[in-house]
């Protein structure tokens, strides 16, 4: 779901850039170079967004696991002896 939404948004923005280049840049060599740059941006941005979504899913999985909180309490108990579990 997220991938479809983000890819569509990225493609929309990049398409506007390409149309702008086609409309206003009349030099063939410059137009080609700019279009290739936009294509590279598109590829990079999609990969960066995918990596961010994957990282977010992994972080969410860790912090929603009960063991994460149990480990945090244990760490606090060793750092601060006055912290008692359940009190």
The angle that helices 2-24 and 28-63 make with each other, rounded to 10 degrees, is 160
pLDDT at 58 (0 to 100)? 96
Query: What are the pLDDT digits (tens) for 50-70?
Result: 999 999 999 999 999 999 889
* The two structure tokens encoding residue 6: 């983000």
pLDDT at 34 (0 to 100)? 98
Query: What are the pLDDT digits (tens) for 4-48?
Result: 999 999 999 999 999 999 999 999 999 999 999 999 999 999 999
Does the reported pTM lie above 0.85? no
> Rounded to 5, what percent of the chain is helix, strand, coil?
85, 0, 15
């Amino acid at each position: 779901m997220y991938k479809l939404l983000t890819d569509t948004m990225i493609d929309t923005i990049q398409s506007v850039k390409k149309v702008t280049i086609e409309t206003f840049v009349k030099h063939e060599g410059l137009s080609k170079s700019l279009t290739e740059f936009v294509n590279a941006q598109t590829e990079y941005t999609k990969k960066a967004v995918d990596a961010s979504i994957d990282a977010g899913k992994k972080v969410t999985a860790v912090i929603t696991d009960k063991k994460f909180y149990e480990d945090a309490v244990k760490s606090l108990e060793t750092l601060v002896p006055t912290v008692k579990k359940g009190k």
